[in-house]
Structure 1
């Protein structure tokens, strides 16, 4: 009887610990998502991990990727209403190599052949 109660207490403690870990992970994901509302964000690693650079466009225009993520971006979020074009050259020179539709995400730019290549970003009207 005593062993059964101890065993049940152990199972309950393990279940509560697991739930707290899942809650912390979900909270971290929500914080990462909320840091990029209404703008465009590039991330250093797949699945929105690592360093982040946020671009705030109030109209169409071009911005260079900062030195931390220049040619190192592996995922992106575009919660804005604008289409974003990524270029391999500074100042949006040449033709773009990747286009992000309005209100889209891409957790791995590898599948589009644009992993670790972004040097500048242009916002254009959809």
Structure 2
């Protein structure tokens, strides 16, 4: 009886230790995914809003802004602004845009839009 009680206690302790480990990993992931974009628009180097971040502040609509630090390197984005943001693969927003982010949206992986590692400039436009 005593051995069975000790075995159960050991199993419970092991299960709790596993849950604590999973909980801290889940908290770290949730913190990374919940990180805010304090500017009008943010690009991230890697999927899931990780890696280097480039923040953009838009002064007006229809003004092209070049990506300097993440030129052709962005893999995710957050758009907390009220503007639709168009992505271009050229430096001066020339030609047709390849992707548009809806106002107040985010995309954890630009691969599904065919624009992973392609953004060179962005332009906010009225929705």
TM-score, scaled to structure 2: 0.78
Partner of 1:13: 13
Q: Larger Cα Rg: Structure 1 or Structure 2? A: 2
Unmatched 5+ residue regions in structure 2?
A: none
Unmatched 5+ residue regions in structure 1?
A: none
Secondary structure of the 1:21 match is: helix
Partner of 2:90: 89
Residue 117 of structure 1, CA deviation: 0.1
Which stretch shows the higher mean deviation, 95-104 or 39-48? 39-48
For residues 119 and 45 of structure 2, what CA distance do their matches in structure 1 show? Answer: 11
TM-score, scaled to structure 1: 0.79
Which stretch shows the higher mean deviation, 103-112 or 57-66? 57-66
Q: What is the total number of aligned residue pairs between the two structures?
A: 125
Contact 2:66/2:120 (CA < 8 Å) preserved in 1? yes
The residue correspondences of 1:1-126 to structure 2 (distance < 5 A) are 1-32=1-32, 33-36=34-37, 39-60=40-61, 61-67=63-69, 69-126=70-127
Residue 108 of structure 1, CA deviation: 1.9
Residue 8 of structure 1, CA deviation: 2.4
Residue 66 of structure 1, CA deviation: 2.6
Secondary structure of the 1:92 match is: coil
Residue 27 of structure 1, CA deviation: 3.0
Contact 2:65/2:121 (CA < 8 Å) preserved in 1? yes
Q: Could you give the per-residue CA deviations for residues 54-94 of structure 1, whole angstroms, max 9, x where no partner exists?
A: 22335323322133x21111122222221111111113233
Q: CA RMSD in A?
A: 2.3
